[in-house]
Homo-oligomer: A and B are copies of this chain.
Amino acid sequence: MSAHRSGKLPSRPASVRERIDQTAYELFSRHGIRAVGVDTISARSGVAKMTLYRHYPSKEDLAFAFLRRREELWTRSWLQQEVERRAQAPAERLLAVFDVFDKWFRRSDFEGCSFLKVLLEHDDRGHPVRKAAEAHIKTIRAFLRRLAKDAGVRDAHAFARQMQMVMMGSIVAAYAGDRDAARRARELGSLLLARAGIGTGKGGRS
């Protein structure tokens, strides 16, 4: 509010704000929002609770910040970057999603998808945090729709919906213990592409 805010230097030795955000991200993404208390975030970040509450007036605000960060780190910097790095052609990028997922699912610290966890842990359809999670899911779908359009898929909207359905299904399947969920999902993606008349040169069959 004063003067020196939002300008340049990000405060070299990890600003208090950053420590809060990092810690909240780690704990929320691993255990969900409900399961993590503000005291825990305070303790683990080394930031006093009062300070924490000055930066985020309520736990809900902390949740919003977490979801924003998740979109930035997971959706944009990780999923999209990796997909675009692994393939050039849009159709192949759509399939590359599952190659990225495969590495993800096999990580020993695989903790599931935070957006799905947050979505499912709020049963109230109108809860702002749930709606925020839905919005982030929609952002991912927009990415898929873009790829589908570029690949020449006729009904990119429906395609993206089905693609995301397979993605979410694979995440849940992996969470339930199927280590090969991504490979199976890739086959489904191939079938979708084939039906749309898009060839990738590297189909889903063995």
For residue A43, CB closer than 8 A to chain B, the reply is no
**Once the chains are docked, how many angstroms separate the CA of A32 from the CA of B134?**
19
Query: Which of the segments A14-22, A57-65, A83-91, A175-183 contacts the partner chain?
Result: A175-183
A70 at the interface (CB under 8 A from B): no
Q: Which residues of chain A from 165 to 182 have any CB-CB distance to chain B below 8 Å in the complex?
A: 165-170, 172-173, 175-178, 180-181
What band does the interface of chain A fall in when counting residues whose beta carbon is under 8 Å from B? 35 or more
Copies in the complex: 2
Q: Are A172 and B121 in contact, with the CB atoms below 8 A? A: no
The secondary-structure label for the interface of chain A is helix
> Is B161 within 8 A of A165, CB to CB?
no
In the complex, A137 Cα to B176 Cα: how many Å?
8
* 8 Å CB interface, A115-141 against B: 116-117, 119-121, 123, 134, 137
Q: Are B165 and A123 in contact (CB under 8 A)?
A: no
- Excluding A164-B169, A165-B169, A166-B169, 4 further A-B contacts by CB distance (< 8 Å) are A31-B123, A34-B121, A165-B166, A166-B188
